[in-house]
Amino acid sequence: MSRVEVRLATRDDVPLIVQFIKDLAEYEREPQAAEATPAMIDEALFAGRPACECLIGLVDGRPEGFALFFHNFSTWKGRRGVYLEDLFVRPSARGVGLGKALLARLAQIALDRGCPRLEWNVLDWNEPALKFYRSLGAEPLAGWTIHRLSGDALARLAAHVKP
């Protein structure tokens, strides 16, 4: 039986987190999209006003996964929530409960901070993840479609701002 643990990331974990990000991008079939550098992740996690937080999952003392998250805000609830940006467990460590342990810790953080919800996105082709999340009681939000502005489209829209 494997021993599963979850702890908060430290500054020493930055290279590991960057590697997990690259591994996740590879799994999600977009390795070229992972542009984050150790300096960027260090600043995001450990600057004076951190943009996000990170949990490290260990199996038998070895780091095998991570969950990177931040707060969002619901105007309807009038409270902040927790948004899970990335969850990744190395393929060799899947099936021992690490993903569930990471999400359970994140759920506890949400409750401890008075957050009424924990949300995340999942690629529609990632059937193993969808099945895993459903097994935990997560439900897809019907009627919602994610939209994104980036690159040239973002710059074109920003150009409409009057000085």
Q: Tell me: the pLDDT tens digits for 104-127?
A: 999 999 999 999 999 999 999 999
Tens digit of each residue's pLDDT (9 = 90 or more) over 44-81: 999 999 999 999 999 999 999 999 999 999 999 999 99
Instruction: Please tell me the total count of domains within the chain.
Output: 1
Note whether residue 163 is domain-resident. Answer: no
Note whether residue 64 is domain-resident. Answer: yes
Note whether residue 58 is domain-resident. Answer: yes
Give the catalytic positions in this structure. Answer: 133
Strand 62-74 relative to strand 53-59: parallel, antiparallel, unpaired? Answer: antiparallel
- Look at the pTM and tell me if it is higher than 0.85: yes
Note whether residue 68 is domain-resident. Answer: yes
pLDDT band at 99 (very low <50, low <70, confident <90, very high): very high
Q: Which domain holds residue 128?
A: 4-158
What CATH number is given to the structural domain containing 31? Answer: 3.40.630.30
